[in-house]
Amino acid sequence: MSVLISPSVLAADFARLGEEVRAVDEAGADMIHLDIMDGHFVPNLTVGPDVVKALRPYSDKPFDVHLMITPNPAIVESFAEAGADLISVHPEPDPHIHRTLQAIRAMGKKAGAAINPGTPVEILEPLYELCDVILVMSVNPGFGGQSFMPASVERIRHIRRRIDELGLDTILEVDGGVNPETAPKIIGAGAHALVAGTAIFRSKENSYAKAVERLRLGTAV
């Protein structure tokens, strides 16, 4: 599977968010990553389904929506209706994670499970076959611009091994401190989707297309 690049608009210019989404689409992004935070599960507050809906006309690429919230059926459904194509949720705050993943799939969307750096990977054991995506957080979620946690490499490797053992084609995605320097380690451990915010939107390349290209070149192993 080829490497997928999913720019995180958390690092974009919020005063011109639609234009930013269109720009990274045209720069070669495979997906558009939208971080949804509720100020409870993580110590930050971002956007809701109305913003996702407003951004939908700016790109035909899949919207990769990461819900860093305490989910409930109505909220998850609202993001599906707003235009999300892939919805990742956290098992940590959700006592009914199986039901949530099943509901996402029933809406015709791809379902993902996201885990924090401090969460044992074993939490995923009952979930693999319900997931189209596993999202490994390689920083503590809530804020952009953090440094990649080296211990994440072994976690990625473990999850990759379990996906292969189960014979699944689950997308293994990594978010946090992803840049051309850390990407080779991440891809080498078995991930094939990278979420990058600062490395694209605030790159010294001064060009989103060059930043995306450099990130792809950084994934060469």
38 is in an annotated binding site: no
pLDDT band at 1 (very low <50, low <70, confident <90, very high): low
Which band of pLDDT confidence, cut at 50, 70 and 90, is reported for residue 220? Answer: very low
Whole-model pTM?
0.94
Q: Scanning the structure block, which residue is given the tokens 């919805």?
A: 87
- The answer to whether 142 is annotated as binding is yes
Tell me: pLDDT of 156 over 80.
yes
The class of domain 4-218 in CATH terms is alpha beta
**Which contacts (CB < 8 Å, 24+ apart) does range 95-98 have?**
97/127, 98/126, 98/127, 98/130
Helix, strand, coil fractions of the chain, as percent rounded to 5 = 40, 20, 40
From the candidates 25, 30, 64, 175, give the one annotated as an active-site residue: 175
What is the predicted pLDDT for the residue at 125?
97
Residue 158 labelled as part of a binding site: no
Instruction: Compute CA 150 distance to the chain's CA centroid, rounded to the nearest angstrom.
Output: 18
Judged against a pLDDT cut of 80, whether residue 143 lies above it is answered with no
Active site includes 35? yes
pLDDT band at 221 (very low <50, low <70, confident <90, very high): very low
Q: Indicate if the pLDDT at residue 71 is higher than 80.
A: no
Percentage of the residues of the chain whose pLDDT score is greater than 90 = 81
| Backbone Cα Rg of the chain | 16
**Which of 25, 30, 35, 132 is an active site residue?**
35
Considering only CA atoms, which of 206, 197, 205, 199 is closest in space to residue 180? 199
Mean pLDDT of 86-110: 96
Question: Is residue 197 part of an annotated ligand binding site?
Answer: yes
Q: Span 140-152, mean pLDDT?
A: 84
Does the annotation list 176 as a binding residue?
yes
State the chain's mean pLDDT as an integer.
93
98 is in an annotated binding site: no
Which sequence spans correspond to the domains of the chain?
4-218
Task: Provide the pLDDT for residue 218.
Answer: 64
- 33's CB contacts (< 8 A; 6+ apart) are 6, 7, 8, 9, 10, 64, 65, 66, 175, 195, 197
pLDDT of residue 108: 97
